[in-house]
Amino acid sequence: MKNTATVSRRSFLTGAGALAGLAAVSMAGCAPQAAAPAATETASEGSELAATGSDWLGAAPEIAEGDIVETRDTELLIIGAGNGGMAAAATAADLGLDFTLCEKTESIQKTRHWFGAINTKYTKAAGAEVDTAKLLNEFTRYASGQADQRVVRVWIDESAEVTDWLDPILTAAGMTCAFDNDIDHETGGTDFYLAPMEHYYSGKDEAGEALERNKVLLAYINERGYDVTYSHSLARLVQDESGRVTGAIFETPEGYVQINSEKGVLLTTGGYTSNADMLRGCNPMVDRCVTLQYG
């Protein structure tokens, strides 16, 4: 399938970025940093922790051209079939893009039923209107002023639009959307943000198994002639002379496969909380502050 129409940033983020949990965006701020030398021999433990992440990424593997057993071309390459990747794939299918979605395992990733959204048609009907400027300021305060407000603003401004896009897809599959307005929920609530302001989908498929958002999105893209390319583990990205990412090389059971992408590569490879080395390198205080982590 081909569609030469320009894909706007907002139209694509509607189905992917806001739901992805900002996975790809977070990579930009986590590039390896050179370890800072200790100022004195009595440097604090905090300074020592901050210097531990100099090489969390490591070096990209050297892959000879002769080691690549197959080369493919696509219009858009999406890497990772989790929350962000499946939403991106469904959006790309809506746009009529010729995309390839690669997943390193042999199945799509599981989902929880909830996702955060504010000022949706459901929350407004319940009278739960959020002051977006106040919420942005509070999130920034929680991050000690270190948050990129532009990234947070994408979710604040577009999460309701994502809900409007996603809700009909899940409803058509037999899932029910319900707004949890229980302010006495154990996660608590405040006057600027109700923590349970999320959408819960319940239902079962024909086999009697619980429906999951990603299962529904997989069926959605299948119906439109697309599928997931499994057992493709990202080995390294491919860049041209200007530094633009033009594709990726994957390790597969048959050997290395290179996929070139005309419009670009979308990384939806999960949260960094599941990567212990990256977590220590980019946010070393987590090891000191968090006693239980389900990454």
281 three-state secondary structure: helix
CB 85 within 8 A of CB 17: no
Res 287: pLDDT: 76
Instruction: Evaluate if residue 139 carries a pLDDT over 90.
Output: no
pLDDT for res 199: 66
CA 115 – CA 248 distance, rounded (Å): 30
| Mean pLDDT to the nearest integer, 48-71 | 80
On average, the pLDDT of the chain sits at 79
Q: For the chain, list the strands marked E by DSSP.
A: 68-74, 76-79, 99-102, 176-179, 199-202, 228-229, 233-239, 245-252, 255-261, 265-267
How much is the pLDDT for 92?
Answer: 97
Convert the pLDDT of each residue in 62-105 to its tens digit.
999 999 999 999 999 999 999 999 999 999 999 999 999 999 99
pLDDT of residue 257: 98
The encoded tokens of residue 208 equal: 């009697």
- Residue 170: closest CA among 100, 219, 131, 223: 219
Structure tokens that stand for 152 in this block: 């947070």
d(Cα 70, Cα 252) in Å, to the nearest integer? 10
Per-residue confidence at 176, pLDDT binned at 50, 70, 90?
confident
Per residue in 99-112, pLDDT (tens digit) is 999 999 999 998 87
Q: What is the pTM of this model?
A: 0.77
Three-class secondary structure of residue 91 per DSSP:
helix
Q: What is the pLDDT of residue 250?
A: 98
Task: Please give the residue that has the higher pLDDT: either 8 or 232.
Answer: 232
Domains and CATH numbers, the chain: 7-34+51-111+212-295 (3.50.50.60), 112-211 (no CATH)
Of 46-50, 141-145, 203-207, least confident by mean pLDDT is 46-50
Distance (Å, whole) CA 6 – CA 75: 12
φ, ψ (nearest 5 deg) of residue 201: -115, 130
Average pLDDT over residues 31-40: 38
Give the angle subtended at the CA of 160 by the CAs of 90 and 293, to the nearest 5°.
Answer: 80
Count of helix runs (H) and strand runs (E) in the chain: 10, 10
pLDDT for 227 beyond 70: yes
Q: 248-276, pLDDT tens digit by residue?
A: 999 999 999 999 999 999 999 987 777 88
The predicted pLDDT at position 114 comes to 78
Query: Would you say 2 and 64 are in contact if contact means Cβ atoms under 8 Å apart?
Result: no
Does the pLDDT of residue 141 top 80, yes or no? yes
Residue 182 binned pLDDT confidence (cut-offs 50, 70, 90)? low
Which tops the pLDDT comparison, 132 or 35? 132
The fraction of the chain above a pLDDT of 90, given in percent, is 44
